[in-house]
Amino acid sequence: MRADFDLQPFNTFGLHALARYYFPVYSEHDLLAILMDQRSAHLPFRVIGGGSNLLLTSDLEAIVLHMFIHGIEVMEETETEVLIRVGAGVEWHALVMETLSRNWAGLENLSLIPGKVGAAPIQNIGAYGVEFKEVCEKVEAMHLATGRLDEFTAPQCKFGYRDSLFKQEAKNRYAITRVWMRLRKTAEPNLTYAALRQAVEAEGLTHPTIHDVSRLVTAIRSSKLPDPRQIGNAGSFFKNPVVAAELVRAIQEAYPHMPVFAQEDGNVKVPAGWLIEQSGWKGYRRGDAGIHDKQALVVVNHGSATGQELRALAFEVQADVQKRFGIELEPEVNIW
Ligand code: FAD
Ligand code: NAP
């Protein structure tokens, strides 16, 4: 246990923030012992993984639990499928690489997402037309107030677009300890996203493998997303808004080229990055706080911006988009 511990190395914005107490967690046994031991401290618990979806705006008067539970176990295997159980502290991209090395399909479109496995259910991570919920079998999690180990099936996790039970009614109540995923031994690649499809076509691949998909997703991501090791960021700052079709039609009168994606319920998803770019913020910089010059959805820390400065800039962008388009952007990043 460490007191007044600086979380700067453990968040991808690279922000300084002191945790009142900090515990690395290597097993369920560790976790239970800390929970029982620290009950008398009367401080809230906060769980972190890779710190790649966090904006720390102040010191944390909390007990921070940093997940390092490891292990990838095969629980069931048939000719067509495999069921794995993975520790919350395993790096997500390392898991993707491990599954690809065994020719298991399902995670290839989710290559190069930073962070740890235990956070994947929190916002139901997604990219290039695939979401975590498609492979999730169940989630093991320890109830922070009682130390009870619970299991949540995928439907119980209430996965939605960048959303789950753990961002809603169970927010900050559980530490996810292990995640079960069902992967396939053969699968048609998902090429629904234009950028991926075009990359496949550009290489003349008629039957792309899961390895091709992972390689191309990695290349596309590396070409347009800032590497947190070079420029502090937490990926997309806002979710893509899903709005009423009438509002979109009204905006399209002034912006006929606005990209839109129709949803099953009749509403329309609008890329938040496009709204921010049209509002003139792409590449904007104030001090060390900025908006990335290749992807306007990413708020960046060029060096020594504070969490409060980054939050103030993001909220200014949010207010500007609301004024111009009548669309309210909702932060995807967890602001603490
Ligand atoms: P953290 O940032 O440490 O935590 C995020 C939230 O989850 C916090 O609320 C925390 O309390 C909670 N949490 C973390 N671990 C646990 C646990 N074990 N139990 C309970 N609660 C927990 N996200 C996408 O969905 N798709 C993308 O394509 C994508 N691309 C990204 C690209 C970049 C360059 C960056 C920096 C981020 C990107 N992200 C993306 C966001 C981020 O990587 C994911 O949300 C990731 O799952 C966060 O994992 P983490 O371990 O870093 O979580
Ligand atoms: P992009 O390909 O330029 O597309 C812009 C947006 O349009 C995306 O955000 C995506 O929404 C949406 N979109 C594109 N094709 C779509 C389709 N066929 N159907 C439905 N929606 C479609 O996006 P990008 O910024 O380069 O990101 C590529 C992928 O990586 C996206 O899936 C994105 O979510 C993911 N990513 C996420 C983060 C993060 O931090 N959350 C960071 C980087 C990249 P969706 O976002 O809903 O997919």
CA atoms within a 13 Å half-sphere pointing along the CA-CB vector of 102? 20
Task: Give me the chain's average pLDDT, please.
Answer: 97
Substitution site in 53, 116, 193 for ligand 1 pocket (most atoms within 8 Å of beta carbon): 53
Q: What is the tens place of the pLDDT at every residue in 41-71?
A: 889 999 999 999 999 999 999 999 999 999 9
Ligand nearest to the CA of 221: 2
Query: C-alpha dihedral over 244, 168, 292, 222, to 10 degrees?
Result: -100
Substitution site in 12, 23, 48, 117 for ligand 1 pocket (most atoms within 8 Å of beta carbon): 48
**Quick one: pLDDT at residue 159?**
98
The count of other CB atoms within 10 Å of the CB of residue 15 is 27
Task: Specify whether the CB–CB gap between 36 and 148 falls below 8 A.
Answer: no
Q: Does the pLDDT of residue 308 top 90, yes or no?
A: yes
The count of other CB atoms within 10 Å of the CB of residue 36 is 11
Q: Which residues contact 120 (CB under 8 A, 6 or more apart)?
A: 92, 132, 179
* Overall average pLDDT of the 276-285 stretch: 98
**Quick one: pLDDT at residue 41?**
82
| pTM for the full predicted model | 0.97
Protein residue whose Cα sits closest to atom 31 of ligand 2: 127
Task: Specify whether the CB–CB gap between 179 and 117 falls below 8 A.
Answer: yes
Q: Which two tokens stand for residue 171?
A: 């927010």
How far, in Å, is the centroid of ligand 1 from the Cα of 250? 35
End-to-end, the C-alpha distance of the chain in Å comes to 21
Positive or negative, the Cα torsion across 78, 81, 87, 91?
Answer: positive
Protein residue whose Cα sits closest to atom 6 of ligand 2: 271
**Quick one: pLDDT at residue 187?**
85
Q: Does the pLDDT of residue 244 top 90, yes or no?
A: yes
Protein residue whose Cα sits closest to atom 32 of ligand 2: 127
Model confidence band, residue 290 (pLDDT cutoffs 50, 70, 90): very high
How far, in Å, is the centroid of ligand 2 from the Cα of 229? 22
The count of other CB atoms within 10 Å of the CB of residue 288 is 16
In the chain, count H helices and then E strands.
Answer: 7, 20
Q: Is 211 helix (H, G, I), strand (E, B) or coil?
A: helix
How far, in Å, is the centroid of ligand 1 from the Cα of 115? 5
Q: Which two tokens stand for residue 27?
A: 């097993």
**Quick one: pLDDT at residue 39?**
81
Q: Measure Cα distances from 274 to 7, 126, 133, 296, 322 in Å.
A: 32, 19, 26, 7, 13
Please name the amino acid found at residue 204.
Answer: G
Please name the amino acid found at residue 58.
Answer: S
Q: Is 226 in the pocket of ligand 2 (CB under 6 A)?
A: no
Protein residue whose Cα sits closest to atom 1 of ligand 2: 195
Find the DSSP H helices in 130-228.
194-202, 210-224
Substitution site in 261, 263, 265, 332 for ligand 2 pocket (most atoms within 8 Å of beta carbon): 261
**Quick one: pLDDT at residue 91?**
98
